[in-house]
């Protein structure tokens, strides 16, 4: 381009723009008012040579020598004053153009490299932490957390099933430690099974951490332990039954004032205070002792007061004396029968009434056993269902209804008579249902002999008549499930009218003749039949002297009304009593459904022998006796089923007195 001026390098942005000149002189433009901190040096050094004029040759891309124009210098960063920041009034801080070694310490010379390394370091730390958690967590998963202990038993690292087995094996032994209870200074031991204590394995392990553990659980499993308490349960019903057993031993229930008859005469006892075990508190105390591992408990006996007073007893004694002052006559349509003072005494009792006194109660049903046949024709009387044994098999004999004396009305009338006076009572007949119906008897399960015993005696003595008579009285009787059989109640007072004769019997340590003497042998026979039948012994009195014809420790005395034989049918089936006798033996056989394979007596060795004395007597009615030494023996009944022992009774200890050898001599010698 013609007349064009020289073009300078674009390095200087102001050099290519023509500016007006002052005074026609060519000078570099003056730039005033630069921003603070910006040096004039950004326009280049002051001593820079003037740009070379552009000639036609250079304008066309050639210099005078024909070479290319010079290469433009590389762009340079704008220089900034190294000494001060303008406008701040503070010490200048060099930023641009300074070598790294001259930079301040707080400025990182390699910021980009650190920014690249920092995320990598963080990632490595996170990965390390994740692995530190996940590796042990995976190893611990599916098992009980390591370090877990239950009652001192380590179950950490085990599966739930393994932990359960280990707790049952090791912890049960610790939990089964007995508890000692103190009852009024007496010590008793309660076993864990008696309290119904049981380890709740499921609930116990349910407390333990398991599954996939959390980080906190992993840390605890690696560095510490987790202590857990075992979960146990108490069967309150079982514990209550155990407490009942303790109460039977330690309860001294208040004794009510009472009037009883001894040898037909009233005897009184004043009321006495008692103490009873606080059962509700005992259940709590023993239960807590097992649950919290205390090992002991103190049980409380509470005072108990009777409901009667000494004045009540004195008033009842006066009524009792009037009651046995003579017989009571029963009348029915021109017929009459008497209740003797002994029958009245045997069936009359005094019980506390709602007013705090003692009221007479009469057992008319039992009293009528002997006299009802005198007032009511046998054809009219009801008949209980029973069985007969035919070809060694029981055959049912149906019952039928009949007419008999109204026992409930008679009981009320006798109670009134003894209280207000009066010795004659008109009785009435009522329709009486049999005590055992045909339907009941048919469902009793009478199918086999479950207990049998035989005793022998010498022929032709008066006592044989009595033994055979009482055996005939109970033959064919049925005892219902849960019912208690009383031999005295079933046969009544032994009288001449009832078919008994006078015979010798030991009473109070002496052989005396009484009506019905010798019936203790039948009581002994029945006792042994019930012994081997497995039925509950409710009451029996051992004989004072041992007789060789009876098994030692298994005899029973019978005297109306003081000494009785009572046993309870504790089975779910009825019991048929069948008896038979000969001139030299009597047998009792019990028919029912067998419950046990075998019942055996365990007898101790005889001990504490005492010699008998020898003496002679010329007293009227003297009965000679053979001497028998005294001794002590224990007998325990053991029950077997399926070839194994299933239970045993408490041992019964019998202490026999020595029986003197008495020789009867005539008074003339």
C-beta separation of 246 from 182 below 8 A: no
Write down the pLDDT at residue 186.
86
What are the angstrom distances between the C-alpha of 511 and each of 186, 335, 565, 625, 628? Answer: 43, 39, 21, 8, 14
82, 13, 18: which is closest to 44 by C-alpha?
13
Q: Residue 87's pLDDT is what? A: 44
Q: Would you give the DSSP letter of residue 562?
A: T
Predicted local confidence at residue 130, as pLDDT: 67
Say which DSSP state 167 is in: I
Q: Would you say residue 97 has pLDDT above 60?
A: no
Three-state SS letters, 616-649: EECCCCCCCECCECEEEEEEEEEEEECCEEEEEC
Per-residue model confidence as pLDDT tens digits over 238-252:
888 888 878 877 888
Compute the average pLDDT of residues 85-99. Answer: 49
Long-range contacts of 28-33 (CB under 8 A, 24+ apart): none
Mean per-residue pLDDT, 305-315: 87
> Around 508, how many Cα atoms within 13 Å sit in the side-chain half-sphere?
4
pLDDT band of residue 382 (cuts 50, 70, 90) is confident
- Count Cα neighbours of 292 within 13 Å in the Cβ-side half-sphere: 9
**Are 224 and 147 within 8 A, CB to CB?**
yes
Alpha-carbon span 227 to 170, nearest angstrom: 16
Yes or no: say if 576 and 387 are a contact pair by the CB < 8 Å rule.
yes
Instruction: Tell me if 651 sits within 8 A of 636, measured CB to CB.
Output: yes
What pLDDT, on a 0 to 100 scale, did the predictor assign at position 367? 86
Q: Does the pLDDT at position 599 exceed 60?
A: yes
Structure tokens at 617: 């007597």
Mean pLDDT, residues 537-559: 92
- The Cα-based distances of 26 to 19, 201, 331, 647 in angstroms read 9, 109, 175, 139
Residue 48: HSE in the Cβ half-sphere, 13 Å Cα cutoff:
16
Q: In the prediction, which pLDDT does 100 show?
A: 58
What would the two tokens of residue 169 be? Answer: 């094996």
What average pLDDT does the chain have?
Answer: 79
Q: What is the mean pLDDT of residues 588-601?
A: 96
Nearest to 323 by CA among 294, 346, 299, 345: 345
At 553-587, the pLDDT tens digits run 999 999 887 789 999 999 999 999 999 999 999 99
**DSSP type of residue 101:** G
324/265 Cα distance (integer angstroms): 7
CA 363 to chain centre: 40
- Residues in CB range of 30: below 8 A, 6 or more apart: none
Please choose, from the candidates 71, 3, 80, 4, the residue with its C-alpha nearest in 3D space to the C-alpha of residue 42. Answer: 80
| Residue 633 pLDDT exceeds 90 | yes
Residues 200-240 pLDDT 10s: 777 777 766 655 656 666 665 556 577 776 777 777 778 88
Residue 389 pLDDT class (50, 70, 90 cuts): very high
pLDDT above 50 for 56 = no
Per-residue model confidence as pLDDT tens digits over 176-202 = 778 899 988 888 888 887 777 777 777
The DSSP bridge pattern shows strands 148-150 and 226-228 to be parallel
Q: Given a cut of 80, is residue 598 above it in pLDDT?
A: yes
CA distances from 49 to 6, 8, 44 (A): 14, 12, 11
More confident of the two residues 74 and 91 = 74
* Cβ–Cβ under 8 Å, residues 301 and 275: yes
Structure tokens at 574: 């009825």
Q: Above 70 in pLDDT, residue 277?
A: yes
- Counted residue by residue, the chain has a size of 669
Q: Please name the residue that has the structure tokens 């005078």.
A: 64
The lowest-confidence range among 61-75, 613-627, 637-651 is 61-75
Confidence of residue 55 (pLDDT cuts 50, 70, 90): very low
- pLDDT 10s digits, 106-162: 555 566 666 777 777 777 777 776 666 566 555 555 567 667 777 667 777 777 787
Residue 498 host element (H or E): none
What is residue 106's predicted lDDT score, i.e. its pLDDT? 54
Res 103 pLDDT > 80: no
pLDDT tier, 370 (very low <50, low <70, confident <90, very high otherwise):
confident
Rounded CA separation 476/498 (Å): 18
Task: Identify the burial level of 148 via C-beta atoms within 10 angstroms of its C-beta, where 0-12 means exposed, 13-18 middle and 19 or more buried.
Answer: buried
Q: Residue 179 and residue 234: Cα distance in Å, rounded?
A: 13
Q: State residue 351's pLDDT score.
A: 84
């Amino acid at each position: 381009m013609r007349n064009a001026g020289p073009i300078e390098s674009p390095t200087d942005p102001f050099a290519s723009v023509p500016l007006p000149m002052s005074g026609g002189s060519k000078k570099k433009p003056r730039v005033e008012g630069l921003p603070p901190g910006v040096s004039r040096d950004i326009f280049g050094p002051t001593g820079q040579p003037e740009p070379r004029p552009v000639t036609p040759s250079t304008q066309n891309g050639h210099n005078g020598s024909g070479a290319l124009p010079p290469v433009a210098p590389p762009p340079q960063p704008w220089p900034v004053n190294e000494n001060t920041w303008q406008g701040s009034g503070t010490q200048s801080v060099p930023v641009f153009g300074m070598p790294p070694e001259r930079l301040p310490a707080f400025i990182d010379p390699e910021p980009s490299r650190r920014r690249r390394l920092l995320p990598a370091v963080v990632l490595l730390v996170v990965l390390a932490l994740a692995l530190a958690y996940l590796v042990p967590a995976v190893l611990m998963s599916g098992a009980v957390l390591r370090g877990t202990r239950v009652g001192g038993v380590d179950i950490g690292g085990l599966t739930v099933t393994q932990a359960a087995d280990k707790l049952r094996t090791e912890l049960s032994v610790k939990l089964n430690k007995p508890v000692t209870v103190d009852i009024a200074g007496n010590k008793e031991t309660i076993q864990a099974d008696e309290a119904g204590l049981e380890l709740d394995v499921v609930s116990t392990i349910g407390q333990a951490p398991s599954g996939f553990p959390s980080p906190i659980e992993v840390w605890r499993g690696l560095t510490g332990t987790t202590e857990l308490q075992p979960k146990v349960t108490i069967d309150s019903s079982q514990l209550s039954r155990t407490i009942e057993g303790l109460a039977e031993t330690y309860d001294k229930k208040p004794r009510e004032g009472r009037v009883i008859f001894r040898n037909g005469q009233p005897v009184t006892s004043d009321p006495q205070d008692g103490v009873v075990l606080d059962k509700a508190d005992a259940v709590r105390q023993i239960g807590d002792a097992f649950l919290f591992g205390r090992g002991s408990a103190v049980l409380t006996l509470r005072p108990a007061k009777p409901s009667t007073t000494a004045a009540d007893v004195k008033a009842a004694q006066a009524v009792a004396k009037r009651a046995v002052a003579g017989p009571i006559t029963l009348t029915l349509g021109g017929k009459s029968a008497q209740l003797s003072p002994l029958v009245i005494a045997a069936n009359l009792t005094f019980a506390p009434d709602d007013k705090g006194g003692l009221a007479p109660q009469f057992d008319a049903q039992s009293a009528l056993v002997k006299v009802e046949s005198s007032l009511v024709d046998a054809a009219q009387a009801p008949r209980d269902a029973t069985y007969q044994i035919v070809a060694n098999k029981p055959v049912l004999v149906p019952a039928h209804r009949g007419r008999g004396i109204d026992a409930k009305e008679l009981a009320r009338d006798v109670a009134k008579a003894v209280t207000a006076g009066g010795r004659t009572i008109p009785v009435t007949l009522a329709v009486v249902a049999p005590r055992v119906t045909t339907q009941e008897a048919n469902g009793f399960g009478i199918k086999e002999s479950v207990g049998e015993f035989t005793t022998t005696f010498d022929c032709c003595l008066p006592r044989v008549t009595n033994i055979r008579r009482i055996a005939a009285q109970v033959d064919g009787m049925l005892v219902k499930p849960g019912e208690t059989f009383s031999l005295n109640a079933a046969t009544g007072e032994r009288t001449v009218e009832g078919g008994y004769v006078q015979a010798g019997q030991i009473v109070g340590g002496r052989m005396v003749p009484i009506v019905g003497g010798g019936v203790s042998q039948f009581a002994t026979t029945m006792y042994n039949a019930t012994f081997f039948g497995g039925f509950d012994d409710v009451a029996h009195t051992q004989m004072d002297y041992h007789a060789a014809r009876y098994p030692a420790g298994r005899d029973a005395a019978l005297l109306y009304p003081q000494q009785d034989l009572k046993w309870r049918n504790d089975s779910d089936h009825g019991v048929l009593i069948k008896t038979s006798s000969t001139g030299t033996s009597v047998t009792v056989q019990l028919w029912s459904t067998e419950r046990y394979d075998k019942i055996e007596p365990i007898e101790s060795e005889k001990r504490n022998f005492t010699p008998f004395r020898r003496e002679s007597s010329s007293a009227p009615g003297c009965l000679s006796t053979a001497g028998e030494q005294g001794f002590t023996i224990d007998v325990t009944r053991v029950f077997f089923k399926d070839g194994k022992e299933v239970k045993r009774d408490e041992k019964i200890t019998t202490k026999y007195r020595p029986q003197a050898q008495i020789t009867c001599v005539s008074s003339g010698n």
